[in-house]
Structure 1
Amino acid sequence: MNKLVLLSFLLLLACGAGGCGSEESSEDSNSKGEERGQAQMSTDSLMLTGQLSEDRSSWQMKLENTTEEDLTLQFKSGQEIDVTITEEESGEKVYRYSDGQMFTQALKEVTIEAGSSKTWEEKLPDPLESGAYRVHFEVTAESVNGESPQKPLSADQTFSVE
């Protein structure tokens, strides 16, 4: 039973990250996210949401388990996530959560119970200058319930600072 649920999860994860589904729902998600600097990737098993604060001074990322079974994420180090902000036009990196951080070099497991979520948040060290940017939210898990995800657990969104 667990293998069937895991296979369903991986298939749905691949479809969610790969853009399967109707164009209408994808456009709705992107246009709503664009207004709030929000990125989202969802399947029937999980929902990853990344969002910048209204004043663009901090970010929050949430991974929600939408199944009726626990999800165990395995990491190759103490780093669970990464967030990168780049200038939209040049692609130049202006912020990366993991830069300057030190993470334990030990295997780590995090379990998200059925119907629960895990949230990460951080304040940006410096205000963003006016311009167009892209934010990339990523959960760095090597595997979910012992199986490698077929697509990264990540979401991207563009936003502007005036």
Structure 2
Amino acid sequence: MNKLLLLSLGGVMLTACSQGANKDGVADKAMSEEGRAVQTNSSAVEIPSDLKLRDDKLIPKQVEAKEAVQAGLLTGELQVIQNNGLSVLLSITNNQTYGVLIQYRSGMTADLQIMDPQGEKVWAWSDDMMFTQALRDTSIASGQTIKAQFTVPEVVLAKLKGRGYSLVAKYVGHATESSQVAMTDVSVSLDPYIN
């Protein structure tokens, strides 16, 4: 952030210091569409966007690599096996270099839902379950994977008609020492499993 500020201030100073005067002693400047002052006389040289001027030489700009956007502290993966309905395994992995402290607000670790093509929930694994209401605190070590197993009954699949349905796993743990979400939802299409 400081580099950007310094570059911006440096550009303003260069612009202010390099203002020339035409033969009448009046600066020959105009405003571009972006609101920056640009020279309009014939001796002005336009600097390409991938270059910058340093010590009266054009040099390539250094482009800083952007970090990948990480949606959550933990990553999830769904594995689906067709077997008298569906057997679904959610693997939750801590790919951080440190342990992540997690709090569960009930006995449930994750939920599995079926969403219709419009994004509305049509079934949830937890609908017919009951969970303790006790708080649970745990730590998931760096590189550790925990698993949650679900079953989608064949009766539920038989009610689904058409394409566009998806399975969505929702991890319910909350990171206690970070404002970042513990894990984003993981989804997979049900199209290969619906007749």
Classify the TM-score, shorter chain: 0.5 to 0.7
TM-score w.r.t. length of structure 1: 0.62
Structure 2 stretches lacking a partner, 5+ long: 1-66
Cα distance in 2 for residues equivalent to 1:49 and 1:81: 12
Q: After TM superposition, give the deviation of residue 119 of structure 1 in Å.
A: 0.7
1:16 to 70, 82, 86: 70
1:78 and 2:107 correspond: yes
* Structure number having the greater strand percentage: 1
Cα distance in 2 for residues equivalent to 1:65 and 1:92: 28
Q: After TM superposition, give the deviation of residue 92 of structure 1 in Å.
A: 5.3
Identity %, equivalent residues: 20
Structure 1 stretches lacking a partner, 5+ long: 1-10, 18-42
Answer with 1 or 2: which has the greater Rg.
2
1:117 and 2:148 correspond: no
* Per-residue CA distance 1:56-110 (angstroms, 9 max, x = gap): 61111011111232222111211211110123258350x3111111111111123
Q: RCO greater where, 1 or 2, for CA within 8 Å and sep 6 or more?
A: 1
Alignment of 1:127-142 (within 5 A): 127=155, 128-129=157-158, 131-132=162-163, 133-142=165-174
Cα distance in 2 for residues equivalent to 1:151 and 1:110: 13
Cα distance in 2 for residues equivalent to 1:152 and 1:64: 9
Cα distance in 1 for residues equivalent to 2:124 and 2:111: 7
Paired residues in the alignment total 122
* Structure number having the greater helix percentage: 1
Alignment of 1:12-161 (within 5 A): 15-17=69-71, 46-54=74-82, 57-88=86-117, 91=120, 93=122, 95-127=123-155, 128-129=157-158, 131-132=162-163, 133-142=165-174, 144-150=175-181, 153-160=184-191, 161=194
> What is the RMSD computed on CA atoms of the aligned residues?
2.7
